[in-house]
Amino acid sequence: MSSGDDTPVHGKKQILFCPLSSPNIGVGRIPPWTTVANVGGASVESPFVARRRNAKISQRGPFGRRARFREGGGGEMELYVWSWGFLFLYIGGMLVLGWLGSRRVASADDFATARRGYGPLMLALAFASTAASGATFLGLPGLTYTYGTSTLWIAFCYPVGVYIGIMICQRAIARFGNATGSRSIPEYLGERFDSEGLRLSAAIFSLMLLFYLASQLVSGLVMFEMMLGVPQHWALVMTTVVLLAYVTLGGAHADILTDGAQGLLMLALAVAIALIFFAGVGAGGFGELLENLRAQDTRLLDAFHPGDPITASVWAAITVTVAHIPLGLLPHIGNKLWALREERSRNRFLLLAFVFSFVLPAITLGGFTARAILGDELFAQAGAVNNALPALFIEIFPTWLAALLGVGVLAAIMSTADGLLISTSQVFANDIYRRSIAPRLHPDIDEAKLDRNVLVISRAVTALTVIGAAALGWATMGMNVVLLMWIGVGGFVAALMGPLVVGSIWLGVTRTGALAGFWTGAVTFVLIRGQILDGKWLAGTSLEAFGEWFAFYSTNPYSAATFGGLVSVIVTVVVSRFTEPLPAEHLARLKADVSEEPLVAESPVARAG
C-alpha cells in the first residue's frame, strides 16, 4: 500500500477531491499481509505486521481472556454459557413482542404498514435503529479498525444524508401515502405519478435489497459464531429462524415494536462504546490509545486515508452524505412514515429520529479501541475485521458483560433485517399481486377475500425471502458487511433520487420524466460500480486527469450512487420539461395532500374497475 508520504499526483487539490496516490488494493479490502518491506536496501517492518503490536496478546486485557480461549481455557465455555442465556432472553422478548404485534394485525394493511399505530418516540427509535443496521454496528467498526479516523466521515455523514432526505420527503410521502392507502414505497411512486410501469419498476428493482438483507444475516452469523461457538452454517440457520419467527407473526407491528426495544439497547451500547473510547479502557488511557495507534500506522489518525476510495478525500465524505439522502426512503424504512399516529407529532418524530441517528454511529469508535488493544491480528483471516467489536468485548470485559453487549449488536442486526423482510414481502403481495394481478385476474373479487389473499402471500413470501437471503449471505461471507449492503442499496438509492426526492418538492415531474430518471439512475450506478464505464478510456486525452480520478472513485459504492443519483435528477428534470404533464385532476389531488383534511383512500380494485 502506498504511504501517506508519497509524491502527490494531483497537486494541492488532492486533500479535497483526489487521493494522494493510486491504490493497489480493492475498495474496502484489508491492507496487504506483509511481514517486511525493503526500503533503501534495509528491511523495515510493515505497519500491519503482528510484531508491531503494543503488547503480547497474553498480556492484554484484564484476564488475557482471548489467549486462554485459544489455549483451551475455561473462559470460552463461560462466554458461551452467558451468551446462550442472554440469547434465550432476547429471543423470548422478541417473540413476545411479535405476538403482541400479531394481535394488532386485523388486515393486510396492518401487516404491511401498521398505519397510524404508534407515537413519535417509539417510531423514532424504530426508524433510527432500522437505518443503522448491522453495517453500522459491525461493518463500520471493522472499517475503522482497518483505516482509522478517516472512516468517521462515513459514520457521521450518513445520518446527515438520511435526515436531509426525510426533511424533504416526509410530509409528502406520509400524507399522500396515507390518503391513497399506499403500503410500500413502490406503490406510493405508482400513485404519485399515476404509473403502473414505475410501480412495477421500483418493485422489481427493490429485489436488489436482498443483498442488504444478506449483509444483515452475515452480521448475525458473525455474532452467533463468535459469541455462541456454533459452526458458521448453524449460526446462519439460527439467525434466519429467529428473524423469521417473530416477523411472520406480527408483520409491521412486530417490526416496529421489536425495533423500538432494540433501538434502546443499541443507544445504550453506542453510548457505552463512546465512553470506553474516550476513557481509553484497556489501553491505559485515551492518550496511550492514540499513541498506540500512531505507533502502528500514523495514517490511522489522519483525516483521510489515501489508499482506499471510500476514505481518500473530501469528495468521499460528500458522496456518503449525498448517497444517503434517499436511504431513509427505501421501502423497509420509508414505510414507517405511515405508522405515525398523529400528523401533529411529525416535528417531534423528526427531532427524536435525528438525535438517535447521530448517537448510534458512535459505535464506530469501538474500531479504534479494538485496533489499539488487538493490534493487527484480525487481518490474518478474510472478513475477520467484521469481528472487531465482539472481539473487543471478549478482550476487555468480564464474560457476562461481553455476552450482554453481544446481544446489543445482535439487536442492531435484527432491527434492519425485519424491516427488509416486510418490505420485500410487499413487492410480491402488494405491488405485484394486489395492484397488478388481482385487478386483471379477478376484478370483482370481494375486498375482504383480496385482503386475506394478500396477507397469506405476505407471510409465505417472507419465509421464501429470508431463505434466499441466507443463501446469498453464505456466498458472500468474506465481504465487509457495509460494502455488501451497498451492492443492493446503491442502485436503488440512485434510481430514487429523481422521481422520489425531486418529485416530493416539484409537482412538475411528469410520468415519463419519473420513469426515465428512475432507470437512468439505476443503470448509471450499475455501469459505474461494475467499471463498465471506465475512466481509463480518457487516457492520452486532455481529460486524462479526470479519467484517473473517475477510475479511482468508480469502485466506491457511495461515489457510484452519487453519480447515478445526479444523473437521475438531471434526467428527471430535463425529460419532465419536454413531456406531457400529469392530468390536471391528478395534480389537484396531489396538491390536496397539504390540506388539513385527509383524503379518503380508494380500493385499488375499485379504481381499476
Q: In the chain, pLDDT over 70 holds for what percent of residues?
A: 79
Picking from 14, 93, 431, the residue whose alpha carbon sits closest to that of residue 259 is: 93
Cα 252 to Cα 102: distance, rounded to the nearest angstrom: 9
Dihedral sign of CA atoms 49, 51, 53, 58 in order: positive
Using alpha carbons, list the distances in angstroms from residue 498 to 161, 167, 492, 494, 589: 15, 16, 11, 8, 21
Maximum average pLDDT range among 8-22, 274-288, 295-309, 559-573: 559-573
Q: Name the DSSP letter for residue 165.
A: H
Which of the two residues, 181 and 56, has the higher pLDDT score?
181
Residue 598 has pLDDT above 50, yes or no: no
Task: Work out the average pLDDT over 113-128.
Answer: 83
Q: What is the pLDDT of residue 332?
A: 66
294-304: average pLDDT: 91
- Give SS3 for 236: helix
- Write down the pLDDT at residue 33: 35
Average pLDDT, integer, range 396-424? 76
Q: What's the pTM?
A: 0.77
Q: Whole-angstrom Cα distance, residue 53 to residue 445? A: 69
Q: Looking up cell 444524508, which residue turns up? A: 161
Give the C-alpha separation, 561 to 332, whole Å: 19
Q: Over the stretch 246-281, which tens digit does the pLDDT of each residue have?
A: 666 656 677 788 778 878 888 988 999 999 999 998
Are 586 and 514 spatial neighbours (Cβ–Cβ below 8 Å)?
A: no
Q: What is the pLDDT of residue 68?
A: 44
Mean pLDDT of the chain: 77
Domains of the chain: 35-481 (1.20.1730.10)
pLDDT of res. 459: 78
Report pLDDT digits (tens) over 176-219.
887 888 878 888 899 899 899 999 998 888 877 777 777 777 77
* Window from 20-24, 65-69, 280-284, 285-289 with minimum mean pLDDT: 20-24
Is 382 exposed, middle or buried, given 0-12, 13-18 or 19+ CB atoms closer than 10 A?
exposed
Give the pLDDT confidence score for residue 460 in this predicted structure. Answer: 83
In single-letter form, the type of residue at position 221 comes to L
Are the C-beta atoms of residues 305 and 147 closer than 8 Å to each other?
yes
Phi/psi for 45 (5° steps) reads: -70, 135
Assess contact for 349 and 128: CB atoms under 8 A: no
pLDDT digits (tens, 9 = 90+) for 350-388: 899 889 989 988 999 999 999 999 988 888 766 678 788
Q: State the pLDDT at residue 347.
A: 85
Which stretches of 384-509 are DSSP H helices?
A: 388-396, 399-426, 438-441, 447-475, 481-496, 503-505
Q: What is the DSSP letter of 381?
A: S
Angle between helices 196-205 and 481-496 (to 10 degrees): 170
415 confidence band (pLDDT: 50, 70, 90): low
